[in-house]
A and B are shown apart, each in its own frame.
Chain A
Amino acid sequence: MDTLFRLVSFHQQQQQQQPDPSLNSTTSRTSSSSRSSRQNYYHYSHQEDEECFNFYMDDEDLSSSSSKHYYQYQPHVSTNTTNTNTTTFSNTTDYSYSFSPTPPIPDFNFEFSPNWSHNLLLETARAVAENNRTRLHHLLWMLNELSSPYGDTDQKLVAYFLQALFSRVTDDGDRTYRTLASASEKTCSFESTRKTVLKFQEVSPWTTFGHVASNGAILEALEGNPKLHILDISNTYCTQWPTLLEALATRTDETPHLRLTTVVSGRPNNSVHRVMKEIGARMEKFARLMGVPFKFNVVHHAGDLSDLNFSELNIKHDEALAVNCVNALHSVSAAGNNRDTLISSLQALQPRIITVVEEEADLDVGIDGYEFVKGFEECFRWFRVYFEALDESFVKTSNERLMLERAAGRAVVDLVACSPAESVERRETAARWSARLHGGGLNAVAFSEEVCDDVRALLRRYKEGWSMAQCSDAGIFLSWKDTPVVWASAWRP
């Protein structure tokens, strides 16, 4: 299925700044004679041209339809051929195959450069920003050649970013996102969710880091209170709470009564409802097993969290309240002051503690121009780190990793192709969140030595590469090979 493609001297192409010869409608490569001596394409058959345009190798992936889009899009491209020596290939079967097994000019053979995906994607982003359509097409085509959701990290990144860029270019971001989301919902069930989330937690401390830190802070802040209420706004499907329940049961002298209210935000979704219902049942049973008096509520909130009605959450004053936000804040729209509104609302609840866990990235991808390119680059950096971490944590053939990568792919579409006002993936850095939280009237609470020790012990239980670092603003970072990836902090009014 994969087409073998070796692109040589991409740099030369760039430097020459010539408008690309158009992509003929059915051919799958372009060349111009001025460059053809350097460019060698190996292409095995014309009949397989169509397959080159299949971005999505998955049968079940419904978005494969968009590949047809791309394919049909081609004829509408204005063909401006370059001068003279351009040899355009028609879709006859008459091809001259020429390839050289070794790159003639090593330093121009960017494919072997370790950063090829970064360079190529950045170029494409620039082309998008400059609105350089022909070049853009060329680049998109090249990306398509090189992409594979089943290949190595670079190929995967290219695959998902290409999908996003393409939908952006065709103004189809929202529809693509919705299609991808509904495709994943079809296979979403309690079983699959549990499998994916738990496996991820088993092989990587990505989520458990935040859980351990938050649980530690919560336990310390709520120490001694007989009635506890935890308001949980997170996307980890309550996997944080079994260890907390166990700690409540074993470490405290008198097991307090715990009430847990989980807020699930986002598009109303039957499968999420079902999953949460099942999760609730399991949690209750588990709490009974642990001997912890426990009540569980799920609140499904459609839309932005900033307009969550906190008075409906039945917050009682005789209970000690803790608010737990894991990856919740970045799902609030960055537009306007929605985020600050949410933070103020949380502060107004006067909880004993607010634990915030967020991913450390500045993913505010701008709409146009330079802002877009800059944001895109950061986006790429972030997802590269994520994909690499996933790659090293899971086994090669892990289905769970594929699910997570697909979810990340959807996030990329959201960031690159959808409108910022509706984006739910716009993460901010710890510094910015800290500024917001301070602005909302909250003060940072440092994690105690014991909690830090627990976190370090947790990291020791995983593979090499993970470490903990203090954040200068507040809280702690989880670092993957010295790059901070997850930020955990605790705050109180």
Chain B
Amino acid sequence: MLRKMDEGEITHAFHQNLTASSAASNNNNPPHHVLKRKRNLPGNPDPEAEVIALSPKTLMATNRFLCETCGKGFQRDQNLQLHRRGHNLPWKLKQRTGKEAKKRVYVCPEKSCVHHDPSRALGDLTGIKKHFCRKHGEKKWKCEKCSKRYAVQSDWKAHSKTCGTREYKCDCGTIFSRRDSFITHRAFCDALAEETARVNAVSDMNTSLGGNIGYNVMGTSLGHNMATHFPSIFKPVSNTDETSNQTSRGLPLWMGQTSSQAQETMVNSNLREIHHQLGSATSSGTIYGGNSLVQCSNLPPSNNYQLSWVFGTKLSNTSQELTTSTTSLPLCNNNTSVPSLYSSQHQPHQTSSNMSATALLQKAAQIGATSSDPSWLGSLGLKCGNSQGQDGNNNKFSGMYGSSFVLSEADNSACDMSQMHPLKRRHILNEESGGGQTRDFLGVGVQNHLPTFINQRVDLI
């Protein structure tokens, strides 16, 4: 049923009961109203809300309400009415009707946009206006200092305040005021040459890797929790010996709190250690029911790199112990039927280490995609393409869960979980990236989805 809006040139407005369109929403209505503590992800509106579709013209119109006397334009009718008082014209302020407490959501008029669909409408008029401008509009506002362009004036203003004030600090200690010279320096800096320091560096780069949204979900907690999670990823020397005393591994590499040199030496020495231990494990027999062990020495260079990276990240600071969990290190021998490593023999994954393991794998996948052999990654259900559109990442993620990931045993999960939180608080990221955003393990600024993520994942255990 069409409900006519009386605000002007609205070409098409429709009232749609979203519950009819979205199947599951009927059951969810009460919980949505009651459990208001979490914010909906943008574009997942309240199903009961009234959907408004405005034309682009209406959306962009700033001053639709015009005074007949002097022609001044106003954004809201209320403002116009108050202005009319000044002309001694009859004015009337509309009262806010109590009945119409119905929430309104707005769809984007651009057909190709995700938010064009009513089920992904945005809840705020200002929000939809800004969205439309940002994504589909012309960028009329330009920063003078760095010539970055913006479609929304408020974005531009916010940027101008911080542009040029931000300093970029390289791992080697040099500080730059210019982003381009920072980037060029970074590319050739000696700090880059060390695998361990590399990830640190990313946290300094204020890159919003738009495509790497897949990291968002996993990454938020990772930024804080990698210390605990890493150990769980690494293959224990044997799966029987170690007890489930998972120790903290100190700061993850990208915490940026250790000097790169220290890290490097530690990594190098630890790497050797690991190699020894894994090597001995090889001789000592099979792990995980007879599949071939990580043959570190047989790794092709690209995988070695990944190996060292993964190891390196774990072995950042303090403890030298290997992980106690039975998570296998999925890097290595390409000839192994890797999926079988993770096949039925193993317990359902533990959440926290799962996150880190998946995160690492995804990172490894990305690295692997640039190097030689994606086959084993593919066998893990990871997509090795570099397309990182949002949907792609979601698939990746679910894919990882789907391929029964080898993770620590159930009895580890508890202690991991318990350890996770304290460690999370301890390891506060210390770097200069913008605005207190949490970072994923790439150090990319992302929304803080941590609470939601944890909540969701708990279900899986």
* A286-B186, A457-B144 as given contacts; A293 in contact with B386, CB under 8 Å: yes
Q: For residue B188, which residues in chain A have a CB less than 8 angstroms away from its CB?
A: 194, 198, 239, 242, 279, 282, 286
Which of A72-80, A252-260, A415-423 touches B?
A: A252-260
Binary A-proximity of B194-224 (CB < 8 A = 1, otherwise 0) = 0000100110010111111000000000000
**Closest-CB distance, B184 to chain A (whole angstroms):** 5
Interface: B92 (CB within 8 A)? no
**In the complex the two chains form, is A250's CB within 8 Å of B208's CB?**
yes
Which one of A254, A282, A450, A458 lies within 8 Å of B187 (CB-CB)?
A282
**Closest-CB distance, A382 to chain B (whole angstroms):** 27
Which residue of B is nearest A193, CB measured?
B188
For the complex, give the distance between the alpha carbons of A482 and B399 in Å: 60
Interface: B131 (CB within 8 A)? no
For the complex, give the distance between the alpha carbons of A83 and B241 in Å: 107
**In the complex the two chains form, is B387's CB within 8 Å of A254's CB?**
yes
Interface: B149 (CB within 8 A)? yes
* A257-B386, A289-B201, A453-B147 as given contacts; A250 in contact with B209, CB under 8 Å: yes
Interface: A111 (CB within 8 A)? no
**In the complex the two chains form, is A285's CB within 8 Å of B145's CB?**
no
For the complex, give the distance between the alpha carbons of A289 and B191 in Å: 12
**Closest-CB distance, B272 to chain A (whole angstroms):** 22
**In the complex the two chains form, is B212's CB within 8 Å of A253's CB?**
no
Q: For residue B145, which residues in chain A have a CB less than 8 angstroms away from its CB?
A: 457, 460-461
**Closest-CB distance, B81 to chain A (whole angstroms):** 42
Interface: A208 (CB within 8 A)? yes
For the complex, give the distance between the alpha carbons of A492 and B178 in Å: 32
For the complex, give the distance between the alpha carbons of A458 and B181 in Å: 11
Q: For residue A257, which residues in chain B have a CB less than 8 angstroms away from its CB?
A: 386
Which one of A253, A291, A458 lies within 8 Å of B180 (CB-CB)?
A458
* A198-B184, A458-B180 as given contacts; A289 in contact with B192, CB under 8 Å: yes
Which one of A241, A242, A253 lies within 8 Å of B211 (CB-CB)?
A253
Q: For residue A241, which residues in chain B have a CB less than 8 angstroms away from its CB?
A: 187
Counting chain A CB atoms within 10 Å of each CB, the highest count among B188, B210, B386 belongs to B188
**In the complex the two chains form, is A287's CB within 8 Å of B370's CB?**
yes
**CB-CB contacts below 8 Å: B175-190 with A:** 178, 180-181, 183-188
Interface: A288 (CB within 8 A)? yes
**In the complex the two chains form, is A293's CB within 8 Å of B184's CB?**
no
Interface: B410 (CB within 8 A)? no
**In the complex the two chains form, is A249's CB within 8 Å of B178's CB?**
no
Interface: B402 (CB within 8 A)? no
**In the complex the two chains form, is A250's CB within 8 Å of B184's CB?**
no
**In the complex the two chains form, is B442's CB within 8 Å of A291's CB?**
yes
Q: For residue B186, which residues in chain A have a CB less than 8 angstroms away from its CB?
A: 242, 286, 289
**In the complex the two chains form, is B366's CB within 8 Å of A291's CB?**
yes
Interface: B369 (CB within 8 A)? yes
**In the complex the two chains form, is B209's CB within 8 Å of A242's CB?**
no
What count of chain A residues pass the 8 Å CB interface test?
41
**In the complex the two chains form, is B210's CB within 8 Å of A253's CB?**
yes
**In the complex the two chains form, is B367's CB within 8 Å of A254's CB?**
no
Which one of B178, B185, B193, B212 lies within 8 Å of A461 (CB-CB)?
B178
Interface: B142 (CB within 8 A)? yes
**In the complex the two chains form, is B198's CB within 8 Å of A285's CB?**
yes
Binary B-proximity of A157-200 (CB < 8 A = 1, otherwise 0) = 00000000000000000000000000000000000001000100
**Closest-CB distance, A253 to chain B (whole angstroms):** 6
**In the complex the two chains form, is B370's CB within 8 Å of A288's CB?**
yes
Binary B-proximity of A226-242 (CB < 8 A = 1, otherwise 0) = 00000000000001011
**Closest-CB distance, B141 to chain A (whole angstroms):** 12
Interface: B434 (CB within 8 A)? no
Interface: B388 (CB within 8 A)? yes
**In the complex the two chains form, is B389's CB within 8 Å of A253's CB?**
yes
**Closest-CB distance, B249 to chain A (whole angstroms):** 22
**Closest-CB distance, B288 to chain A (whole angstroms):** 29
Q: For residue A450, which residues in chain B have a CB less than 8 angstroms away from its CB?
A: 147, 149
For the complex, give the distance between the alpha carbons of A106 and B144 in Å: 50
**In the complex the two chains form, is A285's CB within 8 Å of B181's CB?**
no
**In the complex the two chains form, is A201's CB within 8 Å of B184's CB?**
yes
Interface: A246 (CB within 8 A)? yes
**Closest-CB distance, B171 to chain A (whole angstroms):** 11
Which one of A243, A254, A293 lies within 8 Å of B370 (CB-CB)?
A293
**Closest-CB distance, B264 to chain A (whole angstroms):** 14
Which one of A245, A255, A283, A454 lies within 8 Å of B386 (CB-CB)?
A255
**Closest-CB distance, B361 to chain A (whole angstroms):** 15
For the complex, give the distance between the alpha carbons of A461 and B181 in Å: 11
Which residue of A is nearest B215, CB measured?
A291
Interface: A391 (CB within 8 A)? no
**In the complex the two chains form, is A242's CB within 8 Å of B187's CB?**
yes
**CB-CB contacts below 8 Å: B378-394 with A:** 386-389
Interface: A456 (CB within 8 A)? yes
Interface: A294 (CB within 8 A)? yes
* A257-B386, A282-B192, A293-B369 as given contacts; A453 in contact with B209, CB under 8 Å: no
**CB-CB contacts below 8 Å: A449-472 with B:** 450, 453-454, 456-458, 460-461
Interface: B414 (CB within 8 A)? no
* A255-B211, A285-B192, A290-B207 as given contacts; A246 in contact with B183, CB under 8 Å: yes
Which residue of B is nearest A251, CB measured?
B210
**Closest-CB distance, B239 to chain A (whole angstroms):** 32
**In the complex the two chains form, is A198's CB within 8 Å of B185's CB?**
yes
Which residue of A is nearest B363, CB measured?
A291
Interface: A49 (CB within 8 A)? no
For the complex, give the distance between the alpha carbons of A375 and B144 in Å: 41
For the complex, give the distance between the alpha carbons of A294 and B366 in Å: 12
**Closest-CB distance, B208 to chain A (whole angstroms):** 6
Interface: A202 (CB within 8 A)? yes
**In the complex the two chains form, is B187's CB within 8 Å of A283's CB?**
yes
**CB-CB contacts below 8 Å: A210-235 with B:** 212
For the complex, give the distance between the alpha carbons of A478 and B188 in Å: 26
Binary B-proximity of A3-20 (CB < 8 A = 1, otherwise 0) = 000000000000000000
For the complex, give the distance between the alpha carbons of A201 and B178 in Å: 12
Q: For residue A283, which residues in chain B have a CB less than 8 angstroms away from its CB?
A: 187
**Closest-CB distance, B19 to chain A (whole angstroms):** 33
Which residue of A is nearest B442, CB measured?
A291
**Closest-CB distance, B242 to chain A (whole angstroms):** 32
Q: For residue B386, which residues in chain A have a CB less than 8 angstroms away from its CB?
A: 254-255, 257, 291, 293
Q: For residue B114, which residues in chain A have a CB less than 8 angstroms away from its CB?
A: none
Which residue of A is nearest B389, CB measured?
A254
Which residue of A is nearest B164, CB measured?
A461
**In the complex the two chains form, is A254's CB within 8 Å of B369's CB?**
no
Interface: B146 (CB within 8 A)? yes
**CB-CB contacts below 8 Å: A285-310 with B:** 285-294
Q: For residue A293, which residues in chain B have a CB less than 8 angstroms away from its CB?
A: 369-370, 386
**Closest-CB distance, B304 to chain A (whole angstroms):** 14
Q: For residue B211, which residues in chain A have a CB less than 8 angstroms away from its CB?
A: 252-255
Which one of A249, A288, A454, A460 lies within 8 Å of B367 (CB-CB)?
A288
**Closest-CB distance, A345 to chain B (whole angstroms):** 30
**Closest-CB distance, A220 to chain B (whole angstroms):** 14
**In the complex the two chains form, is B388's CB within 8 Å of A254's CB?**
yes
Binary B-proximity of A433-454 (CB < 8 A = 1, otherwise 0) = 0000000000000000010011
Q: Given A282-B188, A282-B192, A293-B386, 15 more contacts at CB 8 Å?
A: A242-B187, A243-B183, A250-B210, A252-B211, A254-B388, A255-B211, A286-B187, A289-B186, A289-B198, A289-B201, A289-B205, A291-B442, A453-B142, A457-B145, A460-B144
State the A residues within 8 Å of B (CB).
194, 198, 201-202, 208, 212, 239, 241-243, 245-246, 249-250, 252-255, 257, 279, 281-283, 285-294, 450, 453-454, 456-458, 460-461
> Which 8 residue pairs of A and B lie closest in terms of their CB atoms, listed nearest first?
A242-B187, A457-B147, A286-B187, A453-B147, A293-B370, A242-B184, A242-B183, A250-B207
Can you report 29 A-B residue pairs in the complex whose CB atoms are below 8 A from each other? A198-B181, A198-B184, A198-B185, A212-B180, A242-B186, A243-B183, A243-B184, A250-B207, A250-B210, A253-B210, A254-B211, A254-B387, A255-B386, A282-B187, A282-B188, A285-B198, A286-B186, A286-B187, A288-B198, A289-B201, A289-B202, A291-B209, A291-B366, A292-B370, A293-B370, A293-B386, A453-B142, A457-B143, A461-B145
